[in-house]
Homo-oligomer: A and B are copies of this chain.
Amino acid sequence: MTPRRGLTSKDIVNSAAKIANQNGLSYVSISVVAQDLDIKPPSLYNHIRGLDELHELLAIHSCLLLYQKLHLATHNQSNREALTSFSYAYIDFARAYPGQYEAATHSYDEHHAQLKELQDQIINLVRTPLYELGFEEEYTVHLVRMLRSLLHGFVMLESAQGFKMDYQINDSLDVMIETFLIGIQRFEK
């Protein structure tokens, strides 16, 4: 009964992001976002097509943020430094914005070309320095996959509390990245 003008789709995505980061992506629902914005659930449909689109918008927004952080971290670095910086920035992002990390990496059945494009751009930030280290194109593909697996797996297991905290978790991260870099030296041209 009180139409207001201020509410933009940016507000909606921000609310979704807040909820996702606080409680997990699965808590992002029409009803919870509506409650957070102080409107009734059906009112959201004036702005978005439905829950699927809400998740999609959050995914795009989160990919953009992730790209921005990773670009900043790898900008103007040597190839080897770029790999390290990328890795730590990637983990930092997942820790700082866990729900948005989930959204950015979740697989969407019918994701836009836009979302695919964004995810490709993120990967290219690490493909370029690897390629320039002198690996063959095919090996570069494998090593990109390895680094992605390593980082994504680390995030998943850490967020699932899959590691006991006996030994410092950050030391494990250091060892992982160091071991990866040592392991690939062998294949450098």
Task: Identify the A interface with B (CB < 8 A).
Answer: 105-107, 119, 138-139, 141-143, 145-146, 148-154, 156-157, 159-163, 166-167, 171-172, 175-176, 179-180, 182-184, 186-187
Contact = CB atoms under 8 A, between A and B. Distances in A.
Contacts of A154: 145, 149, 153
Contacts of A167: 138, 141-142
A163 B162 CA distance: 25
B107 A172 contact: no
Mostly, the A contact residues are helix
B141 A166 contact: yes
Contacts of A162: 107, 119, 148
A175 B107 contact: no
A149 B150 contact: yes
Nearest to A177: B146
A119 B146 CA distance: 24
A150 B141 contact: no
A160 to B, nearest CB: 4
A175 B105 contact: no
B160 A145 contact: no
A153 to B, nearest CB: 3
A148 B141 contact: no
A156 B156 contact: yes
Contacts of A160: 105-107
Residue from A145, A150, A152, A172 whose CB has the most chain B CB atoms within 10 Å: A145
Q: What are the nearest 9 A-B pairs in CB distance?
A: A153-B153, A183-B183, A149-B153, A107-B160, A179-B183, A142-B175, A152-B153, A149-B154, A142-B172
